[in-house]
Amino acid sequence: MTKNKKNQPENENIGYQKVDIYNQEKIDQLKGHYAKILNDIGEDTNREGLLKTPERVAKAMQFLTHGYDLDPVAILNSAKFREDYKQMVIVKDIEIYSMCEHHLLPFFGKAHVAYIPNNYIVGLSKIPRIVDAFARRLQVQERLTTEIRDCIQNTLKPLGVAVVIEAQHLCMQMRGIQKQNSVTTTSAFTGEFENDKTRAEFINLIRGTFH
């Protein structure tokens, strides 16, 4: 959360900017490691196509893990409004790109998030932002699901939270562990969503998006 702060304007976005200014010190360190990895797999780091690869990969890795620099609680609190609305709010089809912490390979898919407000609502764009803040780290899909749920529950204290994530894991697909197109679904609920009827309503409302 510190490295780019001095370059950012003092505004409501503090704490969750997209990282588009790279930390050169970190890039240089990572670059050295990736050059070594390329050598270790038998590549020639001097051939033309690979000359800039260590630096590119270092930058890619820094971007793919920039969620560590974001504060999801701050994101929600930055647009938390008092409101009497007590019906289900659903944000569905949120794109997810994350990295499996066991193989450092991507998993990607969609998240569907719902909550039932209890005196407070949050700006709708903040839901995809916190999903991204947790996804842009090394993850397992199960923990990603519960972290999103718990963050919303603890910050907004709604009557209930529901999170469903459907994702494809390249560590399964590329390594041939399971069927090539299998989708893993995880879900996590609190409060009113523990109730069968409410949960069924939520599932019904997001169902159109299941593949």
Catalytic residue list? 100-103, 141, 169, 171
175 touching Zn ion, by CB under 5 A:
no
By the 8 A CB rule, do 136 and 153 touch?
A: no
Residue with Cβ nearer Zn ion (26 or 103): 103
Q: How far is the CB of 93 from Zn ion (least distance, A)?
A: 24
Task: Considering only residues 72 through 101, tell me which ones interact with Zn ion, judged by CB under 5 A.
Answer: 100
Q: Which is nearer to Zn ion, 99 or 152 (CB)?
A: 99
Q: Provide the minimum distance between the beta carbon of 81 and Zn ion in the complex, in angstroms, as a whole number.
A: 39
- In the complex with Zn ion, the residue whose CB is nearer, 100 or 151, is 100
* Per CB under 5 A, 207 contacts Zn ion: no
- Nearest approach in angstroms of CB 184 to Zn ion is 11
The answer to whether the beta carbons of residues 152 and 158 sit under 8 Å apart is yes
Among residues 103, 143, 146, 168, the one that binds Zn ion under rule CB under 5 A = 103
| Tokens linked to 86 | 């007590």
DSSP 164-186: EEEEEEHHHHTTTSS-TT--EEE
Residue 108 beta carbon to Zn ion: minimum distance, rounded to whole angstroms: 13
* R_g (Cα) of the chain, nearest Å: 20
Q: Is 157 helix (H, G, I), strand (E, B) or coil?
A: coil
Measured from the Cβ of residue 35, the count of other Cβ atoms closer than 10 Å reads 18
Task: Give the pair of three-digit tokens for residue 40.
Answer: 């270790």
Q: Is 102 in the site for Zn ion (CB under 5 A)?
A: yes
Distance, CA of 152 to CA of 156 (rounded, Å): 6
* Residue nearer to Zn ion on the CB measure, 138 or 159: 138
Residue of the chain from 14, 50, 89, 171 that contacts Zn ion (CB under 5 A): 171
The answer to whether the CB of 59 falls within 8 A of the CB of 27 is yes
Q: In whole angstroms, how close is the CB of 169 to Zn ion at the nearest point?
A: 6
Number of residues that bind Zn ion (CB under 5 A): 4
> Which stretch in 67-75, 151-159, 169-177, 190-198 sits in contact with Zn ion by CB under 5 A?
169-177
Edge-to-edge order in the sheet of strand 160-169: 138-139, 89-100, 106-116, 160-169, 184-189
Residues that bind Zn ion (CB under 5 A): 100, 102-103, 171
